[in-house]
Amino acid sequence: MKLLNQAVAVTALNIRSLPQRIGGSAVAVVGVAAVVLVFAAVLSMAAGFERTMLAAGADDTAIIMRSGSTTELNSGLSNDQALIIANAPGVLRDGDAPIASFELYVVVDIQKKATNDDANVPLRGVQSGAFDIRSNVKIVAGRSFEEGRNELVVGRAAQTQFAGLDVGKEIRFGQTIWTVVGVFESDGSVSESELWTDLRVLQTMYQRGSSVQSVRVRLESPAAIAELTQALADDPRVDVDVMSEERYYSSQAAPLSQFIRIVGYPLTVLMAIGAVFGALNSMYASVSVRGKEIATLRALGFGPFSVLVSTIVESTLLALLGGLIGGAVAFFVFNGFQVSTLNSASFSQVVFNFAVTPDLLMQGIIAALIIGLAGGFFPALRAARLPVAQALREL
């Protein structure tokens, strides 16, 4: 108990004297804040991208593509195969009609507002069932497209990032002019990065006949995907892969998210090493400045343990302050910041918001505490071992 009381007393003394050592302390705080800021900012890209992709996935919706296809772009199904899929067991029905959408996915060039450079933007041909399957899609401006007309509805995120997508505007893809008639939202999911039109119109414009690339269906229940998968596997007329939307979009998000993390974690480690050295310098300078004070405390009966603990606590508190500052700056500056990037899995742009999540902030704080402990240990050890007589003579 005595040792604990001594440690608390010396720690309180150290903290009260911080204003007298503001320069060195500020260096340590800023260094740790920079580490946490970069850590949270970089990894919030991966978190935001994953959130945008996974928000589009539902466990009661299945996407069916040609066997072996990793994306819709390299899939292909005939109209007859699509009809077989839509009428398979496990698909939810509205009366006699299955809740399904045959879909065609192409990529068009549209200028980015920020850079005026062309970007690959997904243009999806859908049937009316697409709006029943994706229950989170809502028209928020204008109206939906009419079947048989060159009309587009555009995702809110696409409209904010790419030029010429305001309601009433006309935009040319190749030799075809399209009219933007509406804007939709889908809870911030990847669907908001897309443009939608009538399937038959898109098939005609791109000379695809009656072929499609995927079929989306609403399942009777999440467990019904097993029944649907087995039924299609047993049908020799089709050779397809069946995935829940949740699984599909998770696989789509993985490559870019992993790349960001591969870059982000080593960068954070390198910066953390620099921050540790900054903390070491700060705490060594603190111990040097307070040499006479420490010696006096030792002469009054305070043991080495209390000096050791107080120095480590001081370093950790400074690092914690830096972590909180870095986390706060990252949250207020980057959280919700909207960008678009090329998704290598689909070769098209995905618009997403950075997401500085509580989990990322907690990881940043833990990293800050580790830096504080590492940066304070050796200076604390030196302070605890400081000979009393030598320190009093030198100072």
Kindly state the tokens that stand for 18: 């911080």
Contact 85, 215 (CB under 8 A): yes
Which pLDDT value is given to residue 267? 79
Nearest-angstrom CA–CA distance, 224 and 263: 40
Nearest-angstrom CA–CA distance, 249 and 50: 9
Average pLDDT for consecutive 10-residue bins of the chain (395 residues)?
Answer: 57 60 73 88 88 82 93 92 95 92 93 88 93 90 94 95 94 90 92 94 92 95 94 95 90 82 81 75 64 59 65 80 92 90 78 90 90 77 63 51
Using the 8-state DSSP alphabet, how is residue 196 labeled? E
Nearest-angstrom CA–CA distance, 191 and 56: 7
Which pLDDT value is given to residue 276? 76
Contact 70, 241 (CB under 8 A): no
String of b and e for 68-77 (b: at least 16 CB within 10 Å)? ebebbbebbb
Neighbours of 115 (CB within 10 A): 8
Which pLDDT value is given to residue 3? 54
- pTM: predicted TM-score of the whole model, two decimal places: 0.80
Which pLDDT value is given to residue 62? 94
Q: How many CA atoms lie within 13 A of 296 on its CB side?
A: 7
Nearest-angstrom CA–CA distance, 342 and 178: 24
Instruction: Return the closest-CA partner of residue 345 out of 211, 203, 215, 248.
Output: 248
